[in-house]
Amino acid sequence: MRFFSDNAAPACPAVLNAIVAANEQDTAYDGDRWSRALDGAMSDLFETPVACLWVPTGTAANALALAALCPPHGAILCHRDAHIQVDECGAPEFYTHGAKLLLIDGDGAKLTPRAIDATAAAIRDDVHQVQPHAISITNATEYGRVYSPAEIAAIGEVAKTRGLGFHMDGARFANAVAHLGCAPADVTWRAGVDALSFGFVKNGGMSAEALVFFRPDLADATRYRRKRAGHLQSKGRYLAAQILAMLAGDTWLTNAGAANAGAALLARAGGGRLIQPVEANEVFLRLTAAEAASLRAQGFDFYDWGEGQARFVTAWDQGEAVVRPLADAIAAL
Amino acid sequence: MRFFSDNAAPACPAVLNAIVAANEQDTAYDGDRWSRALDGAMSDLFETPVACLWVPTGTAANALALAALCPPHGAILCHRDAHIQVDECGAPEFYTHGAKLLLIDGDGAKLTPRAIDATAAAIRDDVHQVQPHAISITNATEYGRVYSPAEIAAIGEVAKTRGLGFHMDGARFANAVAHLGCAPADVTWRAGVDALSFGFVKNGGMSAEALVFFRPDLADATRYRRKRAGHLQSKGRYLAAQILAMLAGDTWLTNAGAANAGAALLARAGGGRLIQPVEANEVFLRLTAAEAASLRAQGFDFYDWGEGQARFVTAWDQGEAVVRPLADAIAAL
Amino acid sequence: MRFFSDNAAPACPAVLNAIVAANEQDTAYDGDRWSRALDGAMSDLFETPVACLWVPTGTAANALALAALCPPHGAILCHRDAHIQVDECGAPEFYTHGAKLLLIDGDGAKLTPRAIDATAAAIRDDVHQVQPHAISITNATEYGRVYSPAEIAAIGEVAKTRGLGFHMDGARFANAVAHLGCAPADVTWRAGVDALSFGFVKNGGMSAEALVFFRPDLADATRYRRKRAGHLQSKGRYLAAQILAMLAGDTWLTNAGAANAGAALLARAGGGRLIQPVEANEVFLRLTAAEAASLRAQGFDFYDWGEGQARFVTAWDQGEAVVRPLADAIAAL
Amino acid sequence: MRFFSDNAAPACPAVLNAIVAANEQDTAYDGDRWSRALDGAMSDLFETPVACLWVPTGTAANALALAALCPPHGAILCHRDAHIQVDECGAPEFYTHGAKLLLIDGDGAKLTPRAIDATAAAIRDDVHQVQPHAISITNATEYGRVYSPAEIAAIGEVAKTRGLGFHMDGARFANAVAHLGCAPADVTWRAGVDALSFGFVKNGGMSAEALVFFRPDLADATRYRRKRAGHLQSKGRYLAAQILAMLAGDTWLTNAGAANAGAALLARAGGGRLIQPVEANEVFLRLTAAEAASLRAQGFDFYDWGEGQARFVTAWDQGEAVVRPLADAIAAL
């Protein structure tokens, strides 16, 4: 059984059904009835008017959001281990036309207002240095940690004070919200977030992510950038339908809750081996090479994550029942 | 019934079935078994070793191909009405980092060796002018015209003589091949083409196009560019599966043949109204405003295409039988 | 004697003296007393508050101006023969990150409101086409023609109506003003121009051009772009000093007047051979190959300008007296 | 007296005289006799065939060099305090179209083979991470430290082994060579360097730096990039003349030697206050706020360099005799 990544999971039934149901003739690009329903559905979910654009990947969503918030000669403040820095092959630089990512340290891939302030304060205010224009955080983080509404609001304050845009990479936003049990608004625009990459693919989607702008005017230029990047799919209805299907009946939350529950079970089994608190659907454990080999021999696949460490990720279809054999195997090490 | 665009059509059964069949756990990105099968399947089809990358749109395929063939300080020679010039919001400029498109006239959106040569010859060979690095043609063209193998080979000779890369926008490549009845190789690498944007979406696909490099080394940097552009979907198997499904049993040719047959029927009905010979699945007719209104009143939708002209596009699901009512209505005008 | 280009001329005495006089220790970049005096001197000249940045080339000035007026996904309307299109190796595309130049025809490299409107009106207002964001004209034009204040104001009206930025390439702005005898303000901001590339190098400068923003806020981001492009010279005082020296005592007008007078003398000699009215310092003549050879044999160098045509450019040091031998030789053909 | 920066110094007499001597009519751009002599003069100096392009700033030279060595989707390995990272407003990102700078620590702003290797080895060899394509070092460094030929050769070995381009930012290359007493070739191509930004402006030049390619083919595309960036000055002879004048009679070495001697005198006066060994023309001292204020009260200007630290830079015209009052004042603190 694979615990490499929630990307490895199939699409959930709701998504697959929605794709089949959308398989009829309609207007091309984003003029179809599914695409036109997105703004409304997301505005309902977030309890405020938003603009929502579908794109096929989190990398596209992140890069388009950052391009809307930072000029080519600006800088984006983010964590050293942020996905936008280490796993997107320079997509932010491509879409922003060469902005610089300024890297900040922090436990669990989390930024703090203090750390952000220290980095921003060290930049001379002259034309020789790129000036910060945006902050980007990931929630849940790359280490499966979750920012609380208060933590995000504190960063939002820094953004506001310094005049910076505020982006959230929410590849696992659903897992964060499921963990927090809060309103989606509480960890986004109410806390100062301007743009959210709202992930669906890791959570049971097939090929659709939602880029949500809480300042809807940011979408205006972004629509051109999306087309220009080749992301305005001609049969966009299949993407919009996926997102709508996952919002309907809170499938997005149910799926994320299941993945979180699976991870929680692994966390309990991991006990003292845990490197990070498990708050979403990622589990980082200390494992010797022999222990890792033993688990693999039992059919469990996962990534090594540096010397003596391993990462396990649960997906929407890997809830408690499915994950129990791995939990037992870890406990038995 | 809609004749706006073949983009409006649904996905064909083979594609939908393939997506459902691919809905299982596998490696992320393009490491899955479907994606890994693409190079082989395309090499078989083209009778030569090729490298094939899936992307979701023709715009992405075109822009990535051009970025592989032209540096930022170079120029691409193309028709004034080429899709890359008029319908991609500057995607070639984005992906090439600012190359210039040099526009050439020609009947039916076709380029001739003579016209290409005249444009290239007018460029001073100094650093003040962008130098041509690539030619891009569309087959079938934006006006539904088809280049023969000999015509393409003649352009390929110009490319070779002048040291230019040669790209083919094949958004309707299937329609061209179905019309010609030739081997796909005859209108591509055998005629000097280096890179082909092989379209599937207009031809019954859902969200997958194939970028085919006949010089496989061109794919090396392109793999990075694809990721960097946010086009390396995390569940790439659903794209690869679509392409494989359409290659299997020559569904791609069957679909295109049906669309072409529908267009041929309209052409016969159009008679003297035809603005361009109908060789693929697009029909351009002279219609008065009253005639256009009459057709629309009968439930036929299509685009006006300049003063007194209209465009009708047939799709894979709009073969002779389906199209007959429109043909009759045109004949009755 | 060379009539290739006014670029071939040496620097005028005022400029050379200013450079020598500035050869002392001062603050680096643009913090020195010469650079700090530029805004004031230019504001005086233009009778309105402006922001002025020195750069070493007209290409840099043009490209920075266009980047301030047009986003990467936008288009710039300009003449087909505009310097920014044919002689800057894609600098506008580089600095704007891939904007598109939309080319317009017009006699003498001049644009008309009607032609601009026709081009802009042909662009569909959707995300598939790059939307116009700026107009760029050259005064005096690449064919030595001069726009009158009224002509520019008419284009300024189009810009205002359509919400477009308005840039003037003034590589030979001095020659235009000398010809018109108007206030510099009359052919710039009073006529709706937002940014002017004010040329000095062709007019007796050594290495300094002035980028003048009539909307001073446009300079804010441009200061970063200038640094980022490597154009913020560390000893900027030598550039500022050149510009100040040429403004002092209206040397810029005197120099341009001399060049214009030289050209006018050639024009009189050219008579019926003239291809364009001579309004600045460029003269385009019909010459047979034999006639061209004859002039060259007498020691006059110039460029062929297409079949049976030749271009002669006079510089600040090629006034009537100096040019007379060439005028006589032309008259004697 | 100013010790802010060697950028504040005037041009040296040889340079000014050369500019005056070049003030005559010649071919524009880089077709003049001075520009055409550059390749030869630099090839003589470096004892190998090189291609040399003049540009007005070190930032332009660095950025053009890096663009020649690293694609948009690649990474450049450099020191965390490298000028290209902290003082060029993102010029490398602009010219490379978005390459990433990967930052490495090291005493005195020096890189070691070990540190470079560790950074490169941590990059996964997949398309999700930008892959290193070039190393850039500064000699003398931003902290006035000098790499020996052996140290550079060791880095050159890393570059060769890993297939990386090797760039040297030589804004103070002259000071390094003057310190080492070696042949220029010993610290460049013989040690594996592919491209050198050879600084003249800080060393008595006015507005000319030399970009030297030891793999002359790298200059081919760079000539287009230089034009496209607006750096191909129309009266390039004034830049070429400066460089030739400084090479003649080893003025470049004499000037640098004088600056180094001035710094050495300050270093002896600084004694235990020294933060870095003084090997070139920069002196970093521990100074209390009171001490700094005292020096400033005596008329000496310099930059604070973090808490309790100060930077003094000597220029070509600040040799031992000129600097003695400052040295005495420091000794007397």
Q: Tens digit of pLDDT for each residue in D191-248?
A: 999 999 999 999 999 999 999 999 999 999 999 999 999 999 999 999 999 999 999 9
Low-confidence residues of chain C, pLDDT below 70?
none
User: If we measure between CA atoms, which residue out of D95, D39, D88, D36 comes closest to residue D219?
Assistant: D39
SS3 helix, strand, coil % of chain B, rounded to 5?
50, 15, 35
User: If we measure between CA atoms, which residue out of D160, D162, D133 comes closest to residue D71?
Assistant: D133
pLDDT tens readout for residues A86-98:
999 999 999 999 9
Q: Any bridge partners for residue C209, and if so which?
A: C55
Query: How many other C-beta atoms are found inside a 10 Å radius of the C-beta of residue D238?
Result: 26
Helix/strand/coil for D7: helix
* CA distances for A92 relative to A17, A64, A134, D70, angstroms: 34, 8, 12, 17
B239 and B202 in contact (C-beta within 8 Å)?
no
Residues in chain A: 333
C55 and D189 in contact (C-beta within 8 Å)?
no
Run of H or E including C17: helix C13-21
Q: Give pLDDT, residue C306.
A: 87
Q: In this complex, do A229 and B228 lie within 8 Å of one another by their Cβ atoms?
A: no
Helix C113-121 with C149-162: angle, nearest 10 deg: 20
Q: Give pLDDT, residue C8.
A: 87
Q: Any bridge partners for residue B213, and if so which?
A: B51, B195
Determine the residue of chain A that is closest to B26 in CA distance.
A8
D41 and C25 in contact (C-beta within 8 Å)?
no
Residues of chain A in contact with residue C131, where contact means CB-CB under 8 angstroms, are 224
The per-residue pLDDT of chain D, averaged, comes to 97
Task: Report the gap between the CA of C238 and the closest CA in chain B (Å).
Answer: 26
CA B158 – CA A75 distance, rounded (Å): 45
Task: Report the gap between the CA of D133 and the closest CA in chain B (Å).
Answer: 12
CA A279 – CA A288 distance, rounded (Å): 24
Residue type, position C195, single letter: A
Q: β-strands D195-198, D209-213: how paired?
A: antiparallel
Q: Name the CA dihedral angle for C66, C67, C70, C72, rounded to a multiple of 10 degrees.
A: 130
Q: Give pLDDT, residue D306.
A: 87
pLDDT tens readout for residues D63-121:
999 999 999 999 999 999 999 999 999 999 999 999 999 999 999 999 999 999 999 99
CA C80 – CA C110 distance, rounded (Å): 10
To test the contact with chain D by mutation, choose from C29, C200, C231, C235 the residue with the greatest count of D C-beta atoms within 10 A, namely C235
Q: Give pLDDT, residue C130.
A: 98
Q: What is the percent of chain D where pLDDT is above 70?
A: 100
Q: In this complex, do C94 and B99 lie within 8 Å of one another by their Cβ atoms?
A: no
All domains of chain D, ordered by start, with CATH? 11-249 (3.40.640.10), 252-331 (3.90.1150.10)
- The values of phi and psi at residue C235, to 5°, are -115, 65
Q: Give pLDDT, residue C239.
A: 98
CA A234 – CA A25 distance, rounded (Å): 12
Q: Give pLDDT, residue D8.
A: 87
Section D303-308 average pLDDT: 92
Provide block-wise average pLDDT over 10 residues at a time, chain B (333 residues): 90 97 91 97 98 98 98 98 98 98 98 98 97 98 98 98 98 98 98 98 98 98 98 97 98 98 97 97 98 97 94 95 96 95
The per-residue pLDDT of chain C, averaged, comes to 97
A318 and A259 in contact (C-beta within 8 Å)?
yes
Q: Is the overall model pTM greater than 0.90, yes or no?
A: yes
Task: Report the gap between the CA of C98 and the closest CA in chain B (Å).
Answer: 4
Q: Give pLDDT, residue C26.
A: 86
Residue A25 pLDDT > 90: no
Query: Which residue is listed with tokens 């288009």?
Result: C75
Q: Give pLDDT, residue B277.
A: 97
Residues of chain D in contact with residue B218, where contact means CB-CB under 8 angstroms, are none
Q: β-strands C309-313, C303-304: how paired?
A: antiparallel
Helix D58-69 with D218-228: angle, nearest 10 deg: 130
Determine the residue of chain B that is closest to D98 in CA distance.
B97
Does ipTM exceed 0.90? yes
Q: Give pLDDT, residue A8.
A: 87
pLDDT tens readout for residues A125-155:
999 999 999 999 999 999 999 999 999 999 9
- The values of phi and psi at residue B212, to 5°, are -110, 120
Q: β-strands D209-213, D51-55: how paired?
A: antiparallel
Section A49-55 average pLDDT: 98
Residue A1 pLDDT > 90: no
Helix/strand/coil for B203: helix
Q: How far is CA D109 from the centre of its chain?
A: 13
Task: Report the gap between the CA of A219 and the closest CA in chain C (Å).
Answer: 12
Q: β-strands A74-79, A131-138: how paired?
A: parallel
pLDDT tens readout for residues D18-50:
999 999 888 899 999 999 999 999 999 999 999
Q: Give pLDDT, residue B1.
A: 82
Determine the residue of chain A that is closest to B89 in CA distance.
A228
Task: Report the gap between the CA of A27 and the closest CA in chain C (Å).
Answer: 15
Q: Give pLDDT, residue B26.
A: 86
Going edge to edge, which strands form the sheet with D309-313?
A: D282-286, D309-313, D303-304
Q: Give pLDDT, residue D1.
A: 82
Run of H or E including D28: none
Q: Measured between CB atoms, which of C8, C229, C235 is closest to D26?
A: C8
Question: Count of C–D CB contacts within 8 Å?
Answer: 150
* CA distances for B210 relative to B29, B52, B241, B242, angstroms: 15, 6, 12, 10
Q: β-strands B309-313, B303-304: how paired?
A: antiparallel
CA B327 – CA B265 distance, rounded (Å): 7
Write the burial class of residue D185 (CB in 10 Å: 0-12 exposed, 13-18 middle, 19+ buried): middle
Chain B residues in contact with chain C using a Cβ-Cβ cutoff of 8 Å: 72-73, 86-90, 93-94, 96-101, 127-130
Q: Give pLDDT, residue B25.
A: 83
* CA distances for C229 relative to A68, B96, C67, D95, angstroms: 22, 19, 12, 8
To test the contact with chain C by mutation, choose from A27, A29, A73, A233 the residue with the greatest count of C C-beta atoms within 10 A, namely A73
Write the burial class of residue C66 (CB in 10 Å: 0-12 exposed, 13-18 middle, 19+ buried): buried
* CA distances for A131 relative to A77, A120, A135, B291, C177, angstroms: 10, 8, 12, 60, 39
Q: Measured between CB atoms, which of A86, A88, A94 is closest to D72?
A: A94
To test the contact with chain B by mutation, choose from A3, A235, A242 the residue with the greatest count of B C-beta atoms within 10 A, namely A235
- The values of phi and psi at residue D213, to 5°, are -105, 120
SS3 per residue for D294-327 = HHHHCCCECEECCCCEEEEECCCCCCHHHHHHHH
Determine the residue of chain C that is closest to B132 in CA distance.
C89
Dig out the tokens for D288 from the structure: 């209390």
Q: In this complex, do A230 and B88 lie within 8 Å of one another by their Cβ atoms?
A: yes
The alpha helices in B271-301, defined as continuous H runs, are 289-297
Q: In this complex, do D93 and A98 lie within 8 Å of one another by their Cβ atoms?
A: yes
User: If we measure between CA atoms, which residue out of C158, C175, C130, C124 comes closest to residue C280?
Assistant: C175
CA D168 – CA D85 distance, rounded (Å): 14
pLDDT tens readout for residues C290-328:
999 999 999 999 999 989 999 999 999 999 999 999 999
